[in-house]
Chain A
Amino acid sequence: MNTKVVWKPYVDYEKEEAWLNRMAGEGWELRRYTWMRYEFEQGVPGRYTYRLQLMADTTRSKKGRAYLAFMRDAGVEVVSAYNSWVYFRKKTADGPFDVFSDLDSRIAHHRRIAGVFSAVFAALIPSAVVVLNSNAHEGRLWLAPLILIEVALGASLGTVALREYRKAKDLERRRLVHE
């Protein structure tokens, strides 16, 4: 079986999902994900639609496992589960595939992602301060790349958190009119 491994750092799950679906469109079907590492298997172009979800529970907890078992029984394939992120897929021929069909679940999902990303963003701040401080006072220039990475990561996390928060807000406004 033809396989390939791609290392790629994604902060934004929407871009990641779009990329996985483009790969699937070309016949490269995700088989396994671990930290930044995507393992693909060559299959049939356009056979699967992939969806990512941030679960409320970790994938190994009792609740998390019950949820994944339910999804499998409901005809959704669990390709990979990493921390609280799950990679689902379904045959494209089965029709459009979305994990959530109602506004409330989608709002909750966007809010959860916004919350987690904001928390990680906040956690970066003290370490950024420490790095910047030691850099300024002790002239540790070798820390410069670290600062760049922290700033880039912080910017991406912040952007996604804000976007998710805005999406939740938009859907909440829609819910005033529609279910």
Chain B
Amino acid sequence: MVESQERGPLTETVFYVLLALHEPMHGYGIMQRASEMSGGRVSIGAGTLYGALTTLVEKGWITPLGGDAGERKKQYVISDTGRAVVRAELARLEELLATGREIAGRESL
């Protein structure tokens, strides 16, 4: 379940990490994927990514895979809670986009 205080906007880092983790991936892969998905605009710093992954695991939005103590490159994957969070965020973004276009987008569209 997504708690009410967690319905706030996601940071760009978290948003792209959750998108990237729709397939299992390790840290380096997530950074590459986020850059690809954003056409090179988003470049997640490794230190920032570490903090984000730690927090997302604690929240249960992503799950570490493997669990082999000897396995160095730990992979992560999005959880059901994480998927729900992404869907909620998409709805929020769609609302922003619709309202924004209606008011500010008239001249350009």
Contact = CB atoms under 8 A, between A and B. Distances in A.
- The answer on A and B forming one complex is yes
Interface stretch (B48-56, B83-91, B99-107): B48-56
A105 B45 contact: yes
Interface in B11-58: 11-13, 26-28, 31, 43-51
Given A102-B11, A179-B11, A74 B43 contact: no
Given A74-B28, A74-B31, A101-B13, A69 B72 contact: yes
Contacts of A99: 45-48
A101 B45 contact: yes
A26 interface: no
Interface residues of B, number: 19
Interface in A121-177: none
Interface string A90-119: 000001101111101100000000000000
Interface in A3-31: none
Interface string B72-84: 1110000000000
Nearest to A97: B45
B109 to A, nearest CB: 25
A75 interface: yes
A105 B45 CA distance: 10
B13 A102 contact: yes
A76 interface: yes
Contact of B27 (A70, A98, A104, A105): A70
A1 to B, nearest CB: 28
A53 B47 contact: yes
Contact of B26 (A73, A96, A100): A73
A67 interface: yes
Centre residue among A69, A76, A101 by max chain B CB count within 10 A: A101
Contact of A105 (B43, B47, B74): B47
Given A69-B72, A179-B12, A101 B48 contact: yes
Interface of A: 53, 67, 69-71, 73-76, 95-96, 98-102, 104-105, 179
Interface of B: 11-13, 26-28, 31, 43-51, 72-74
Given A53-B47, A74-B50, A105-B45, 19 more contacts: A67-B50, A70-B74, A73-B26, A73-B72, A74-B27, A74-B28, A74-B49, A75-B28, A75-B31, A75-B46, A95-B43, A98-B45, A100-B45, A101-B43, A101-B45, A101-B48, A105-B47, A105-B51, A179-B11
The 7 closest A-B pairs by CB, nearest first: A99-B47, A101-B45, A74-B46, A74-B27, A100-B45, A101-B48, A105-B48
30 contacts: A53-B47, A69-B72, A70-B27, A70-B46, A70-B50, A71-B50, A73-B27, A73-B72, A74-B28, A74-B49, A74-B50, A75-B31, A75-B46, A96-B43, A98-B45, A99-B46, A99-B47, A99-B48, A100-B47, A101-B13, A101-B44, A101-B48, A102-B11, A102-B12, A102-B48, A105-B45, A105-B47, A105-B48, A105-B51, A179-B11
